[in-house]
Each structure stands twice: as C-alpha cells, then as structure tokens.
C-alpha cells in the first residue's frame, strides 16, 4: 500500500510568518513536498507560484473566494441570490489554480442567510447549490480540475454553515453526478459532528479527493493534546488506500 502524502496548510501553519510566500518557504524547509492555502487572493498568483516553486512545493488545494466577509459570508455556493457572485469567484479561483498548477478547488457552500430558519431554506439552498455545482463541474472539466465539497461542523466552528455532514455532502454529490466533483474530508469537523470516524472513513473514502486533519477540540496539529488517536487514523487511511493528500 502507498504511504500517505502530506500537505502543509499554510493558512494555519506558520502563523508567526507574515504573508503566504514566507509560509510556503517555511513549509518547504520543514520537509513538506505539497501545500494548500484557503484563500490565496491577496497575493498575485505569479508571486505565489514562484514562491512554491522555489520551496519545492506542489500546491494541491485552494478555496473559492468567501464572498463579502464584512457581511458575514463564508462561501457562496448554496446562497440564494448570489449565483452570479459565485460564478465570478469560481472564475477567479480557476485563474489562480491554473497559474499555481493546483488541481483541486474547494467549492465553498456558504452560510444560511442571517435571520433565516435552516429548515425553512434548506430546500432552496440545496437547489441553488446543485445548480452552481453543475455549472462549476462544467467549468472545471474544461481545465481538467476537480471541485471539492467540504462539510464544516455547525456545533462549534460555524453554526450557520449550510453543508455540515458527510451524509449531506454525499447525497448532493450523487444528485449532481459529475465525476470531477468529490468530497473533502476534514476529520476535525467529522469528529465534532458525528464521531464514528472509522465507519465514516470506510464508507466515504471512495469519493474523497482530499483529507484534512486537526486535533479535537483545540484544532491544533496532530501531535497536540486531544481526543483523536492520529497514529490509528493515519494507519486506517493508509489501509483503506487513501488517494488524496492529507492536509
């Protein structure tokens, strides 16, 4: 079986360093061969590509833009009335992914609108998400890119996030039915929402395109104190033939 391939998430790692180029250099110096970044858009793509190349890193994941952070947005994929902004953000993400040689883009679902009842708007938000994902799959396919859906826990991290469980994400992926859309598994979020990591990893890993890890509850690195047994989890991922990178 192939060993796991690890990626440095420089949006979280090396916080003492200002700017993504410096963090990429630190990741390379620490022995990583791959890196990922949530939102690279404050830096010119050419500068980031050069920094990654100089550090000997392959960039493996970026996110679509979050939208208007001052208005509380955290992604736009499922947000009613923001379809045009989602598609503009997707075009920007594709431009960066191509410049960076990055094969995967996390298509952020976004939050339930302020003041709305989650149950009341769930159907409308899923309809919007399906429409946007079909559009995104077509755009990404033309560039040989993969789109990822990441459930984010609503117990602690983001109570208003629309997509919060692997079951919900897998059902949406099945409805869209596009091979270049896959699941992004963040073990931190999955543990908080549902636990049952062994069963969920075995069930959903065949449709997972990227894995992320952090300790629970503090969201520190795998070596920090917490409730997750990472030697066991890493061995499980290896035994189950995890194909993506582990961030």
User: By C-alpha distance, which of 176, 174, 93, 180 is closest to 144?
Assistant: 180
Q: Is residue 44 part of a domain?
A: no
**Mean pLDDT to the nearest integer, 156-169:** 97
Are 170 and 190 spatial neighbours (Cβ–Cβ below 8 Å)?
no
Q: How confident is the model at residue 1 (pLDDT cuts 50, 70, 90)?
A: confident
Mean pLDDT of the chain: 97
Q: Tell me, yes or no, whether 218 lies in a domain.
A: yes
Cβ atoms of 104 and 180 within 8 Å: the answer is no
Residue 112 lies in a domain: yes
12: in domain: no
CATH, residue 230: 3.20.20.150
pTM for this one? 0.97
Maximum CA extent, the chain: 50
Q: Is residue 83 part of a domain?
A: yes
Domain count, the chain: 1
- Does 200 map to a domain? yes
Q: How many CB atoms lie within 10 A of CB 14?
A: 19
Domain span including residue 169: 64-238
Structural domain includes residue 89: yes
80 located within any domain: yes
The predicted-structure confidence for 105-144, as pLDDT tens digits, reads as follows 999 999 999 999 999 999 999 999 999 999 999 999 999 9
């Amino acid at each position: 079986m192939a060993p796991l391939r690890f990626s440095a998430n420089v949006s979280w790692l090396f916080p003492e360093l200002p700017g993504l180029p410096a963090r990429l250099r630190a990741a390379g110096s620490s022995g990583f061969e791959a890196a990922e970044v949530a939102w690279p858009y404050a830096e010119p793509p050419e500068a980031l590509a050069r920094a990654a190349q100089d550090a000997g890193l392959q960039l493996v994941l970026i996110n679509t833009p979050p939208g208007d952070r001052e208005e509380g947005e955290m992604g736009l994929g499922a947000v009613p009335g923001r379809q045009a902004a989602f598609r503009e953000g997707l075009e920007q993400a594709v431009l960066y992914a191509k410049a960076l040689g990055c094969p995967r883009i996390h298509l952020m679902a976004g939050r339930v609108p302020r003041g709305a009842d989650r149950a009341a708007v769930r159907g409308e938000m899923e309809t919007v998400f399906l429409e946007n994902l079909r559009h995104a799959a077509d755009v990404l396919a033309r560039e040989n890119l993969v789109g990822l859906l990441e459930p984010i826990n609503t117990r602690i991290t983001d109570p208003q996030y629309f997509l919060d469980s692997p079951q919900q994400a897998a059902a949406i992926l099945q409805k869209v039915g596009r091979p270049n859309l896959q699941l992004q598994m963040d073990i931190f979020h999955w543990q908080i929402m549902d636990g049952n990591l062994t069963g969920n990893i075995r069930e959903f890993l065949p449709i997972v395109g990227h894995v992320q890890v952090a300790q629970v509850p503090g969201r520190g690195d795998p070596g920090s104190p917490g409730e997750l047994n990472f030697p066991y989890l890493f061995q499980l991922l290896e035994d189950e033939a995890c194909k993506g990178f582990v961030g």
